[in-house]
Amino acid sequence: MYMQITEKCQLQCEHCMFSCGPRGKHATLEVIKQACKIAKDNHSHLFMGGGEPTIHPQFWEVFGLFCEANAPWSNDTGMPPVGLVSNGINEKVVMPLLDLAEQKLISLSISQDHFHKRCAQLSERVQRKLDYLVKRKGERTVDIRGDITYVRQVGRAKRSYVYTEASENCNSCGGVIDSAGDVWQCCHKSVKLGNIFTGLVDGVNWYDIDEMPCCKTKSLKRWLKEKEQ
């Protein structure tokens, strides 16, 4: 499951699928704790997303909750318990995250595509550390998300006309939990599946969330019917 711990970001990138920016809202600890409980109870993986995750005012407390929630999944798969993507700007938080990635305790991606570079540059310390880790032989827990070869018609990319694909299909990203705790079929946020506090719509269970297809390719009813066959 993709969890937006915040919909706030220092930037307002043209291609952002969630249309995040400085006016976005942070998820409360109550929302995050409930999402983490669901993930842990169902041995599911909760990906830390945003907005820009590192600017959440209680980031390290949230980080601890994700570590605990993803521990069963991590033990089963051998993968780091926490995965996140950052724009790398918040040096105070990003530097410790790079250290954790170096120890293979988390999986970290830093966005360095032309959309992000157009808005802001990394600090010298972050850039130097990132370059060192990426060049290390066999290093797989940190990477740079470089130039994007295609942009789909999702979120701000559609409104800004920066998309390169005629299709509106997302990458079948799976279910998305937003900062308010609402659960969506995919990143389009057009088909609501329920809420983490009140439950999911009939026919959908938490085990289904990770496998959710894009709502532009398959309707919820069609997908559920195919699962039953």
Helix/strand/coil for 195:
strand
SS3 2: strand
Query: What residue spans define the domains of the chain?
Result: 2-228
pLDDT value at 209 more than 90: no
- Residue 108, SS3? strand
What is the end-to-end Cα distance of the chain in Å, rounded? 24
CA distances from 15 to 49, 131, 160, 171, 188 (A): 16, 25, 8, 14, 13
Radius of gyration of the chain (CA): 17
**Under DSSP, is residue 4 helix (H, G, I), strand (E, B) or coil?**
strand
> Between 77 and 214, whose confidence is greater?
77
Binned at pLDDT 50, 70 and 90, residue 43 comes out as confident
Around Cβ 176, how many Cβ atoms within 10 Å? 25
Contact 16, 7 (CB under 8 A): no
pLDDT digits (tens, 9 = 90+) for 72-86: 999 999 999 999 999
CA 124 – CA 113 distance, rounded (Å): 17
| Six token digits for residue 32 | 């995050």
Fold of 2-228: TIM Barrel (3.20.20)
> How many CB atoms sit inside 10 A of residue 143's CB?
17
51 pLDDT higher than 90: yes
Provide the pLDDT for residue 58.
98
Tell whether pTM > 0.85.
yes
- How far apart (Å, rounded) are the C-alpha atoms in residues 229 and 224? 9
Q: Is the pLDDT of residue 203 over 60?
A: yes
Amino acid letter, residue 126: V
Above 70 in pLDDT, residue 151?
no
Instruction: Provide the CA 109 distance to its chain's centre, in angstroms.
Output: 11
* Residue 149 pLDDT greater than 70, yes or no: no
Average pLDDT in the chain = 86
pLDDT for position 167: 63
Within 10 A of 164 (CB to CB), how many other CB atoms are there? 12
